[in-house]
């Protein structure tokens, strides 16, 4: 029994020596490393979320690229060509209007605009029903009808009168960026570029630079 006890004590001493020989972990250093790792993870999470958001904000990027003070938007999808021969201003039943696809397009584009960093100082629309409905479905708040954005494609409005009103408006813009929902013929006359349904042109009224983009 005595020998057995001696052997047990000897074995215990060996275990203790082995434990003492193991490298000790510096708890303070370990905790510091963990804190640094958490900080780095948090930093990169914020950094990449900002980069991702910036990459997706096509509206603000287009405006900033040319210091635009106006954004022209062609109305959302309205199937067909021109307007019926019995066209009457203020009577939507006599006009070419948005279909369900166009309404969905306008709402989706509006959601993209609201997610962007851009807040329009003013939203204006042609007096045509398809433009009015587009402006409403964008969901950007109050908007106003402006005859200087009306279509003269089929001479339902006088081209010279429309463009003169628009030119005057472009010289008297409120500070910031104005959104104008209108027709291809108007946008092309001002910017020299053709656009599809729901497409945009950022425009600098001072330099006449134009930048086309889509949000859908």
Query: What's the pTM value of the predicted model, to 2 decimals?
Result: 0.75
Q: Is 2 exposed, middle or buried (0-12, 13-18, 19+ CB in 10 A)?
A: exposed
- Picking from 146, 150, 147, the residue whose alpha carbon sits closest to that of residue 185 is 150
Strands 70-74 and 178-182 come out as: parallel
Domain ranges across the chain: 2-52, 58-213
SS3 181: strand
Structure-block tokens of residue 205: 């009224």
| CATH number of the structural domain 58-213 | 3.40.50.1240
Write down the pLDDT at residue 52: 39
Write down the pLDDT at residue 56: 73
Write down the pLDDT at residue 105: 98
Write down the pLDDT at residue 121: 97
Write down the pLDDT at residue 16: 58
Write down the pLDDT at residue 53: 42
Q: How far apart are CA 71 and CA 25, in angstroms?
A: 62
Write down the pLDDT at residue 25: 52
Write down the pLDDT at residue 19: 57
- How high is the mean pLDDT in each 10-residue block of the chain (216 residues)? 53 58 59 69 48 66 98 97 92 97 98 96 98 98 98 94 98 96 98 97 98 96
């Amino acid at each position: 029994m005595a020998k057995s006890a001696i052997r047990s004590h000897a074995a215990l001493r060996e275990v203790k020596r082995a434990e003492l020989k193991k490298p000790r972990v510096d708890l303070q250093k370990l905790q510091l490393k963990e804190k640094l790792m958490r900080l780095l993870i948090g930093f990169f999470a914020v950094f990449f979320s900002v980069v991702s958001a910036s990459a997706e904000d096509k509206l603000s990027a287009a405006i900033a690229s040319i210091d635009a003070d106006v954004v022209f938007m062609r109305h959302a999808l309205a199937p067909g060509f021109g307007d019926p021969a019995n066209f009457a201003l203020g009577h939507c039943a006599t006009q070419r209007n948005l279909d369900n696809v166009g309404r969905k397009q306008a709402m989706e584009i509006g959601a993209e605009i609201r997610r962007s960093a851009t807040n329009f100082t003013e939203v204006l629309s042609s007096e045509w029903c398809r433009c009015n409905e587009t402006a409403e479905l964008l969901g950007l708040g109050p908007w106003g009808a402006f005859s200087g954005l009306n279509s003269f494609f089929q001479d339902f409005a006088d081209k010279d009168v429309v463009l003169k009103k628009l030119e005057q408006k472009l010289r008297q813009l409120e500070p910031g960026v104005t959104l104008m929902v209108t027709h291809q013929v108007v946008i092309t006359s001002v910017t020299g570029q053709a656009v599809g349904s729901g497409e945009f042109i950022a425009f600098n009224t001072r330099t006449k630079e134009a930048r086309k983009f889509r949000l859908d």
